[in-house]
Amino acid sequence: MNAKKNMTRREALKKMGAVAAGIGLGIGGVHATDVPGLSDKEKKQEKIKVLAINGSSRKDGNTADMLNLVLGELEKEGYETEHIQLAGHTINPCKACFACVGKKNCVFGDDIFQDLYRKMTEADAIILGSSTYSADISSTLKAVIERASVVCDTNPGMFRHKIGSAVAVARRAGAMNTIDTINHFFLNKELYVVGSTYWNIAYGRLPGEAMKDKEGVANMKNLGQNIAWLLNHIH
């Protein structure tokens, strides 16, 4: 791909304003067609998508277990879910070129980010999870958030009124920073942030250990129930 000449942030924001004036700011999800025999509630739930992105560098580890607990509660309510694990993938950092102005996605397709961002815009609820690395999220998830932030900044409203929830796993400490980093992205991009009975954190190092954290497991299940409750009330 031929990279365009880099714009300054001032130039990008100026162009962004012109683009936003001519387009609708809300982004609707991809909706399933009506299925014969389904009740009105089931038809509504069939159209609603929940996306979980697992930023852990370890596939099918503790973070995956916690996200699956959350999604399991949503599936009980009939919602369509998808769980994407970033382990094994490289997400390149944002180039700050602002070529995404008006395009509603990053212009660089040399990794999985374009498809990932499309799925985020199609989802009604987004759950971002990460193991704790140096008291923060993984570098892979950080790259996703940074690029998604810029695309959304230059194409305003793409996440407006979606639901966002953060999930963190830690061996011992630093998980609150992991939660904060994810929530800062959600709050800055106009998502409704959902919590649980306590912080959405579970503790464990080796695969399977977090499932022994009874309070953490209960929090994840309740988080899924709370997301379902909000989905029921805003759709």
Q: Which domains does the chain have, with CATH numbers?
A: 40-234 (3.40.50.360)
pLDDT of residue 19 exceeding 60, the answer is: no
Does 14 have pLDDT greater than 80?
no
Taking each helix axis from N to C end, the angle separating 139-154 and 9-22, rounded to the nearest 10 degrees, works out to 60
More confident residue, 12 or 132: 132
Mean pLDDT of 154-175: 97
Between residues 9 and 208, the one the model is more confident about:
208
The answer to whether 116 touches 51, Cβ cutoff 8 Å, is no
Phi, psi of 189 (to 5 degrees): -115, 20
Output the average pLDDT for the chain.
88
Q: Which residue has the tokens 């979980």?
A: 52
| Rounded Cα distance, 185 and 200, in Å | 16
Report helix, strand and coil shares of the chain as percent, to nearest 5. 45, 15, 45
Residue 34 has pLDDT above 50, yes or no: no
pLDDT at 4 (0 to 100): 47
Cβ atoms within 10 Å of 51's Cβ, excluding its own = 23
Tell me how far apart the alpha carbons of residues 109 and 222 are, in angstroms, rounded to a whole number: 37
Give the pair of three-digit tokens for residue 77.
């309510």
Decide if 178 contacts 47 (C-beta within 8 A). Answer: no
Q: Note the pLDDT of residue 235.
A: 86
CA–CA distances in Å: residue 39 to residues 30, 31, 44, 50, 190: 20, 16, 9, 20, 31
Q: What is the pLDDT of residue 24?
A: 36
At residue 47, the pLDDT reads 87
Lowest mean pLDDT among 29-38, 94-103, 172-181: 29-38
- Output 92 or 30, whichever has higher pLDDT: 92
Query: Is residue 43 pLDDT above 80, yes or no?
Result: no
Kindly state the greatest CA–CA separation across the chain.
54
Q: Average pLDDT, stretch 192-196?
A: 98
Whole-number percent of the chain with pLDDT over 70: 80
Res. 31 pLDDT band, cuts 50 70 90: very low
- pLDDT over 90 at 46, yes or no: no
pTM score, whole prediction: 0.84
